[in-house]
């Protein structure tokens, strides 16, 4: 019954309390993370850069082939 008679907290107070709890949980989880070392981070970065270059080259080739086919078709039509 005491809970019913107690005044409800306002929305900003509840928001701040939940934000503080959330940030505390985030901090606790970040301490559990196994962060990569410098060598692993550099190696992973090079893998990502290589993958981006390969995908960009693939998109470039497909775009050029599509443009070539479309321009040929348009030349035939009109």
Neighbours of 59 (CB within 10 A): 10
pTM greater than 0.75 (yes/no): no
Count CA atoms within 13 Å of residue 31 on its CB side: 5
* pLDDT interval class at 6 (50, 70, 90): low
- Does the pLDDT at position 2 exceed 80? no
pLDDT in tens, 29-76: 999 999 999 999 999 999 999 999 999 999 999 999 999 999 999 999
Is the separation of the CB atoms in 44 and 36 below 8 Å? yes
In this structure, how many other beta carbons lie within 10 angstroms of the beta carbon of residue 41?
Answer: 11
Q: Return the pLDDT at 27.
A: 96
Q: What is the pLDDT of residue 71?
A: 96
């Amino acid at each position: 019954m005491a809970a019913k008679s107690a005044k409800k907290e306002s929305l900003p107070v509840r928001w701040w309390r939940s934000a503080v709890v959330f940030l505390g949980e985030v901090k606790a989880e970040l301490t559990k993370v196994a962060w990569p070392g410098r060598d692993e981070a550099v190696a992973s970065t090079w893998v990502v850069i290589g993958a981006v270059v390969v995908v960009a080259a693939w998109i470039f080739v497909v775009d050029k082939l599509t443009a070539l086919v479309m321009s040929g078709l348009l030349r035939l039509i009109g």
